[in-house]
Amino acid sequence: MAGSTLTRRALIAGAGGAALAAPVLAQSLVDLGLPGGPSLRPLDPAFPGKGEMIVQRIRPPLLETPMDVFREGVIAPNDRMFVRWNWDMPTAVKAANHRVAVGGAVNTPVSLTLDEVAAAGETVEVVAINQCAGNGRGLSEPRVTGTQWGNGAMGCAKWTGVRLRDVLAKAGVTEGAKRVRFAGLDVPLTDGAPQFIKSIPMDIALRDDVLVAWAMNGEPLPLLHGFPLRIVVPGWFSTYWVKMLSTIEVLTGEDDSYYVAKSYRMPAAPITPEDKDFATVPITEMPPRAFITSHADGAVVAQGQALTLEGIAMGGAAALARVDLVGDGWELPCTLGPDEGPYAFRRWQVTVPQVTANLAQIGVRAANITGAVQPETLAWNPSGYARNVIERITLRPQ
């Protein structure tokens, strides 16, 4: 949780210096530790159904989860899960009127009620991390433009719904289908602007654990999180987890829509900030990541004593294999906590037997079962996507 510290700024409201004592309004600010700033973010205004959140933007809403939340457990409570909308979000949905159209390369286009979607197949629960593709973008060096997230645009929840493939079966996918595209109720404010629609390859769409979900941690999806239905693609970045799902479209070719063909793309091979022309690929699967949650950057620890560090880790698109605490020329394996499934956060713990002088720039490095491991240096890209460099902090023995 590098550099996430709470500061308070007292704003004095009222005129002049003399007369009556002025009321003091305190506004809480969080310092996200973004190199070069601006780094302070407000914790207000409050949003309906949300607890304390870092308000990156009021409209359309961008709310970041304070790193403290990840100290408390692997599941983010619904009122602390991050929120991200590309376009203005609808603020009311009539359940009886909502329909999910399933069309495109299908045998019989259908328009399903919510009850018909829910009855399309077996009810399935998946514990999975929802993480914005731009999570940690604000920490990029050199800095890049876009939403300046710290590392809190992520959260793990239990999602309940039916399999996407069972919903597709209501219409019948035709031969030659290649991708499945999703659209929600959120539409652009301006004529001709690209709608936020996203597609996934057919083999992903047919997976056992790819859902049309209506519940998050056992509660109906809050509107801010996509009521009444959202797509859940465990292991993939949340850009594909389309909210307020209203259209499912089966494609027979590549998807040339803006948010797939032009945006949310990564360099196909490593680049430097000087590179201008390079091939790109869509961001899809999440890489492994790990975070220290027990100590903040700069925390004081007891010299000569044993020190226990704790945190969370994820394997990304495959189960977590191991987590190591790494320092300058040394590393220590961490003990993993309970396994909530391959796509969930998992807690880790490690004890440094005796604190010595050198706890500068320590970090935790996660690896998953496919051998993907967090890199020592940032795989810089101009959109700040898929950050998974080892996050480091410095502890100060005293």
Partner 1 sequence: MRAAAIPLAFLALALAACDSAPVVTFADASITLPDDPIELPAGPEPGRTAVLENCTACHSPSTMLQQPKVSREKWEGIARKMIEVYKAPVDPQAIGPIADYMVHVQASQPPR
Query: Do residues 11 and 27 lie in contact, with contact meaning Cβ atoms separated by under 8 Å?
Result: yes
CA-closest candidate to residue 283, choices 236, 320, 251: 236
**Cα gap 234→259, rounded to integer Å:** 20
Do the bridges between strand 100-104 and strand 110-112 make them parallel or antiparallel, or are there none, so unpaired?
antiparallel
11 lies in the binding site for partner 1 (CB under 8 A): no
Full strand arrangement of the beta sheet holding 62-64 = 54-57, 62-64, 83-84
Return the sign of the alpha-carbon dihedral for residues 66, 71, 75, 78. Answer: negative
Stretch of 31-39, 99-107, 173-181, 352-360 contacting partner 1, by CB under 8 A: 31-39
Q: Which 82-121 residues touch partner 1, going by CB under 8 A? A: 89, 91-96, 98, 114-115, 118-119
Tokens 């990541």 found at = 289
Closer by beta carbon to partner 1, 152 or else 288 = 152
Out of 17, 23, 36, 329, the residue judged to bind partner 1 by CB under 8 A: 36
**Cα gap 160→331, rounded to integer Å:** 39
Taking residues 317 to 356 in sequence order and writing x for each that binds partner 1 by CB under 8 A, - otherwise, the string is ----------------------------------------
**Cα gap 236→367, rounded to integer Å:** 17
Least Cβ distance, residue 199 to partner 1 (angstroms): 19
25 lies in the binding site for partner 1 (CB under 8 A): no
Out of 56, 130, 151, 247, the residue judged to bind partner 1 by CB under 8 A: 56
264 lies in the binding site for partner 1 (CB under 8 A): no
Least Cβ distance, residue 53 to partner 1 (angstroms): 11
374 lies in the binding site for partner 1 (CB under 8 A): no
**Which residues, listed in sequence order, are joined to residue 119 by a DSSP beta bridge?**
none
Sorted by sequence, the CB contacts under 8 Å of residue 263 that are 6+ apart come out as none
Least Cβ distance, residue 5 to partner 1 (angstroms): 11
Q: Which 226-245 residues touch partner 1, going by CB under 8 A? A: 227-228
Out of 65, 151, 160, 368, the residue judged to bind partner 1 by CB under 8 A: 160
Return the structure tokens found at 47: 């949003």
Least Cβ distance, residue 375 to partner 1 (angstroms): 22
**Cα gap 246→342, rounded to integer Å:** 29
| Burial (CB count <10 Å: 0-12, 13-18, 19+), residue 272 | exposed
Out of 57, 99, 158, 207, the residue judged to bind partner 1 by CB under 8 A: 57
Least Cβ distance, residue 190 to partner 1 (angstroms): 4
Least Cβ distance, residue 138 to partner 1 (angstroms): 8
Return the sign of the alpha-carbon dihedral for residues 182, 185, 186, 189. Answer: positive
Return the structure tokens found at 151: 């590392």
Taking residues 122 to 151 in sequence order and writing x for each that binds partner 1 by CB under 8 A, - otherwise, the string is -x--------------x----xxx--x---
Query: Do residues 295 and 395 lie in contact, with contact meaning Cβ atoms separated by under 8 Å?
Result: yes
Least Cβ distance, residue 314 to partner 1 (angstroms): 26
**Which residues, listed in sequence order, are joined to residue 158 by a DSSP beta bridge?**
127
77 lies in the binding site for partner 1 (CB under 8 A): no
Write a three-state SS string for 105-138. Answer: CECCCEEECHHHHHCCCCEEEEEEEEECCCCCHH
Phi/psi for 53 (5° steps) reads: -135, 155
Closer by beta carbon to partner 1, 115 or else 254 = 115
> How many residues make contact with partner 1 (CB under 8 A)?
58
The secondary element (H helix, E strand) that includes residue 261 is helix 258-261
Q: Which 164-223 residues touch partner 1, going by CB under 8 A? A: 188-194, 214-215, 218-220, 222-223
Out of 28, 43, 51, 61, the residue judged to bind partner 1 by CB under 8 A: 61
Least Cβ distance, residue 161 to partner 1 (angstroms): 9
Stretch of 41-49, 309-317, 323-331, 373-381 contacting partner 1, by CB under 8 A: 41-49
Least Cβ distance, residue 219 to partner 1 (angstroms): 6
Report the interface residues with partner 1, using CB under 8 A: 31, 34, 36-41, 45-49, 55-61, 89, 91-96, 98, 114-115, 118-119, 123, 138, 143-145, 148, 160, 188-194, 214-215, 218-220, 222-224, 227-228, 258, 262
